[in-house]
Amino acid sequence: MQHRHMGNLLRIRDVVGTGVGLGEDGKPVIKVYTTGPGVPGFRATGVCSVKAHVTGRVVALGDTNRPLPASPPGRLNRHPSVTAGTIGARVKDADGRVYALSNNHVYANQNDAAIGDSALQPGVFDGGSDTYYYRVGTLAAYQPIDFSLSGVNYMDAAIVLSDTGNLGNSTLPDGYGTPSSDIAAAYVGLPVKKYGRTTGETHGQVAEINVYVEVCYEQLWIFCIKSLIFMTRSPSPPGDSATGGTRGPSS
């Protein structure tokens, strides 16, 4: 039902996305994300209701931090041309190589980086430089982002080849520690936690699934001049892009 009505909903001015959740009565509801209150044009579908949820414009952002001996998840890490970003998690491939996982817009500079480019901790903006002391790894791979009007993206992701000397696998002491490697399917009401540079450890629940949202990547004053559509991608607060280790209750 969401997909049947999504096109018309997204044509409404100030609508930036939709998701599927539960209403106060426990019945299915289509949540419509808006930039502000009072957006008209919603109506019931006959199967489930449609409700507005004010999120504001969803923007991909970063933040800053200091250098650390071994960067943990939730700490600053970025391409030399990127203002700021965050390590999401430490991952390994089948051959045991160690990588830092984060966003394309953090490590690959929105598709403009080259494989082998440095990842710095911290970046130039915070006093770092593209020299040996500040390099924690090199760009190994990324999922290209489709910025076309017709494109739909399922991830904003990139990995940097690193090593255990430069990259930790646990949050700082005020966080939850080492994230679980178990994979769990999301459902409405699933308890989750994350550790972000800006907000530290925070707790919440999955509010909606099947999220389809427009994310702004470049703004000029109050106007978005470069955006894209993401499917099943939830926004993070500034500085929390690729926040370390979102976990379910079994972790």
Q: State how far the Cα of 251 lies from the Cα of 249, in Å rounded to an integer.
A: 6
The half-sphere exposure of 61 on its side-chain side, counting CA atoms within 13 A, is 15
Whether 202 is covered by a domain: the verdict is no
Report the predicted TM-score, pTM, of the whole model to 2 decimal places.
0.72
Asked if residues 188 and 21 have their Cβ atoms less than 8 Å apart, the reply is: yes
Q: What is the pLDDT of residue 156?
A: 92
In 3D space, the residue among 26, 11, 14 whose CA is nearest the CA of residue 53 turns out to be: 14
Whether 178 is covered by a domain: the verdict is no
Whether 134 is covered by a domain: the verdict is no
Whether 224 is covered by a domain: the verdict is no
Q: State how far the Cα of 80 lies from the Cα of 238, in Å rounded to an integer.
A: 19
**Which of the four pLDDT bands, split at 50, 70 and 90, describes residue 65?**
very low
Whether 87 is covered by a domain: the verdict is no
Whether 7 is covered by a domain: the verdict is yes
Q: State how far the Cα of 112 lies from the Cα of 91, in Å rounded to an integer.
A: 23
Top mean pLDDT of 2-6, 19-23, 117-121, 126-130 is at 19-23
Q: Please compute the mean of the pLDDT values over residues 161-184 and round it to a whole number.
A: 87
Whether 39 is covered by a domain: the verdict is yes
The domain that holds 29 is classified in CATH as: 3.30.300
pLDDT, tens digit (0-9, with 9 covering 90-100), for 127-159: 656 667 778 899 999 999 998 877 889 999 999
- Say if residue 201's pLDDT is above 80: yes
**Which of the four pLDDT bands, split at 50, 70 and 90, describes residue 169?**
confident
- Say if residue 212's pLDDT is above 70: yes
**Which of the four pLDDT bands, split at 50, 70 and 90, describes residue 248?**
very low
How many Cβ atoms sit within 10 Å of the Cβ of residue 15?
21
Count up the domains in the chain and report the number.
1
Whether 49 is covered by a domain: the verdict is yes
**Which of the four pLDDT bands, split at 50, 70 and 90, describes residue 249?**
very low
Q: 31 - beta bridge partners?
A: 19, 51
Q: Which two tokens stand for residue 153?
A: 């993206």
- Say if residue 167's pLDDT is above 70: yes
For the chain, report the end-to-end CA distance as a whole number of angstroms. Answer: 33
- What residue numbers bound the domain in which 22 lies? 2-56
Q: What is the pLDDT of residue 72?
A: 58
- Say if residue 80's pLDDT is above 50: yes
Q: Please compute the mean of the pLDDT values over residues 215-225 and round it to a whole number.
A: 82
If you average pLDDT over every residue of the chain, what do you get? 79
